[in-house]
A and B are shown apart, each in its own frame.
With several copies, the nearest count.
Chain A
Amino acid sequence: MTVQEIKEIMLTVPMIPDMELAVTKTVESLSRFIPFTGDQVDEVKHAIIEACMNAFEHSRSADCRILLVFKVGPCKLTVEIVDHGKGFDPALVEDPKIENKLFKNVRKRGWGLKLMKHLMDEVDIVSNRNGTVVRMVKYADAYRKEALNESV
């Protein structure tokens, strides 16, 4: 696999307010290398914001940093969001439903993972007590897989 086929960009950022927005600029700039539509770029940006916010809010990582790895292929973008925090078990996260949230005295939060799964074509989470890796893939339209978000 040559550099021309897969381009890997790594970004390490501190967990500070608004850094998740700064990170989306990198996505914008990489999208010049992939035939994404504007909406697709937008969807990737939103998904990355959610993943970053989760690392910022929940990971409790001692180094207060996250690593983002972007793998730019000719027809797809893979993004890994890595924190060195406490980890979690994604299987234990309940699927949020609006009817269980509205008019009930419950936390309205809990949408991040669901949004990520619907905005991206693939989402895998590997997490243990050394940290969490969220791996997300988006295909350019022409190469799009049977995408989860088409079924919403």
Chain B
Amino acid sequence: MNQFNIDIEHTGDYAVIRSDGYINNLGGEKISEECCRLLESGCRNFILNLEKSPIVNSIGVSILIELIERVLESDGKLVFTNLTSTIAKTFRIMGLLQYAGAFPDELTALDEIKKM
């Protein structure tokens, strides 16, 4: 069946989450759970690298919207990196990028988050 994995790198106030696989309801929930756990432990800034998740569905993205809401309500930030152009388009259509930035890669994202 469909494999979905995430890899987390957490240092201080920042966490980089790299997902691998299809982001449907299950994938979205897995990302969301991990980020909520980190939020509760005090982490505020999330870089979500979707390089290995070239396919998402709108149910998965809806779960990410809930997550973005929680992060923003905790005065944190969530940004995306390594989006395929179709996912970037999808997020633009949904208006998501007004609330969660998108950057080409993790380093740029980290730099920009620090400036924000």
Interface set of A (CB-CB < 8 Å, partner B): 17-18, 20-21, 24, 32-33, 39, 42-43, 45-46, 49-50, 53, 96-99, 101-103, 108-112, 114-115, 118-119, 149, 152
Contact = CB atoms under 8 A, between A and B. Distances in A.
Contact of B55 (A39, A45, A96): A45
Interface size class of B (residues with CB under 8 A): 20 to 34
B62 A109 contact: yes
Contact of A21 (B55, B62, B69, B90): B55
A32 B55 contact: no
A101 B93 CA distance: 14
A36 B19 CA distance: 25
Contacts of B90: 46, 115, 119
Contacts of B95: 97-99
Interface in B78-95: 84-86, 89-90, 92-95
Nearest to A109: B62
A121 to B, nearest CB: 14
A50 B62 CA distance: 13
